[in-house]
Amino acid sequence: MEVSKWVCGDRQGTLNPAPERIHDTSDTKVQDLVQKLDEASIDSSTLGQLNWPLIDIVYTLEVEGTAAEQLWKQLRAISIDTGYWPVIVADEDELDGLVDNISCHLEFDSESKTWSPRKKSYFSEDIVFEEADNVVRVVRELKDLEGDSEPLDLDGSGAVSPTPEDFIVAGEKMNMDKWLDLKCAVNQEIDEEFEESDWPYDVAPDDSLQALQTWDPDVGSRELDSVFILLVHADHSWEVPAKLLYGGWNDCPVPQVHVGFLKRWFRLHDAEIISVGRATIEMRVGKPPGSRDEALELAREQFVYCPDCVDQGAGSVPSLAAELLNGRIWHFWWD
């Protein structure tokens, strides 16, 4: 983006992916956060902020890659007290991807040289369908189930609707079984892939965080020297995609669908977001599936939620199931 300044009502800031280091600690929210970090023996000297439009201010910490997972666990342990959910983000390039996601909901004013919320939804152009087409009817039913998926600036005040909180409420109420059935009705290859039942005995789960890895042409995959940890104002892990307005592009679901699945998987598998990137989500799992049947059913859900888990990852639903069986880290990637 050539111009990074934005204005939403009384709020303003930049779309710069680099966190702004906090030097003025007179803000009561910052004071409270720093105090709770200090009480937990967490170094707050790198505390910064991302002041992006449409969402709450996101605070950041910078940490060595080798220490990131342990710091995430410490921040997770005090998340109820702080009110912020920790999310590992690899580097500024990944932060820039999150900016791009938010910028889908903005438009540029050439006179004021600023970005502001779109008056019309970015994805709302009407397409003429043949109503007799059964797939079209299913798609419309799917859209009705999901509801509104993009925030709109209704009056120029910067107050958008639906808000991230609206997406959370919608996602928590959504019938995810119906969503799965509708997606399968649209794409019959999903169930055809699921019927392939040969179990791959040579596949094991990958329990390493890909967000902490980078590719070095000299040595291959290596751990990043440093990463960011975002502190997102959220009570629960499943709220994070809505709080970041994450999704709604390519095959990546809209925010409320993320909310619905992540809450479902927290309830069933104690799965929580640990990292987010330009097109990735990783989850830390407390109760992974312990049987093949359970792993296969979960793999089907994850294939519908994130087709690239199979198409550009495991290669088949049974292979994905083998990765999920007793696996402690789940990887999602939308190309």
Q: What is the pLDDT along the chain (335 residues), one digit of tens a residue?
A: 455 788 877 888 888 899 999 988 889 999 999 999 999 999 999 999 999 988 999 999 999 999 999 999 999 999 999 999 999 999 999 999 999 988 888 888 888 778 887 765 544 445 455 555 677 888 889 989 999 888 887 777 777 889 999 999 999 999 999 999 999 887 766 666 656 567 888 888 889 999 998 877 777 778 899 999 999 999 999 999 999 999 998 889 999 999 999 999 999 999 999 999 999 999 999 999 999 999 999 999 999 999 999 988 888 899 999 999 999 999 999 98
**The pLDDT value given to residue 124:** 45
Does the residue 46 lie in any domain?
A: yes
Q: How many CB atoms lie within 10 A of CB 170?
A: 22
Distance of CA 193 to the CA centre of its chain: 26
Of 262, 295, 276, the closest CA to residue 333 belongs to: 276
Q: How many CB atoms lie within 10 A of CB 217?
A: 5
E strands of the chain, at which residues? Answer: 5-8, 11-14, 20-21, 48-50, 58-64, 84-89, 106-109, 114-117, 152-153, 160-161, 213-216, 220-223, 226-233, 271-276, 280-285, 329-333
How far apart CA 122 and CA 149 sit, in angstroms, is: 10
Residue range(s) defining the domain that contains residue 39? 1-202+225-282
Q: What angle do CA 333, 242, 83 make, to 5 degrees?
A: 110
How far apart CA 45 and CA 34 sit, in angstroms, is: 9
Does the residue 219 lie in any domain?
A: no
**The pLDDT value given to residue 99:** 92
Q: Which two tokens stand for residue 130?
A: 């043949």
Q: How many CB atoms lie within 10 A of CB 81?
A: 11
Q: Which two tokens stand for residue 136?
A: 């079209």
**The pLDDT value given to residue 221:** 79
Does the residue 257 lie in any domain?
A: yes
**The pLDDT value given to residue 130:** 54
Cβ atoms of 98 and 17 within 8 Å: the answer is yes
Does the residue 310 lie in any domain?
A: no
Q: What's the one-letter identity of residue 9?
A: G
Does the residue 239 lie in any domain?
A: yes
Rounded to two decimals, the pTM is: 0.92
Does the residue 130 lie in any domain?
A: yes
Of 127, 146, 138, 117, the closest CA to residue 52 belongs to: 117
**The pLDDT value given to residue 215:** 75
Does the residue 212 lie in any domain?
A: no
Q: Mind spelling out the 3-state secondary structure of 85-112?
A: EEEEECCHHHHHHHHHHHHCCEEEECCC
Does the residue 271 lie in any domain?
A: yes
**The pLDDT value given to residue 195:** 60
DSSP class of residue 163?
-
Number of domains in the chain: 1
Q: Mind spelling out the 3-state secondary structure of 43-86?
A: CCCCCEEECCCCCCCEEEEEEEHHHHHHHHHHHHHCHHHHCEEE
How far apart CA 160 and CA 102 sit, in angstroms, is: 13
**The pLDDT value given to residue 111:** 82
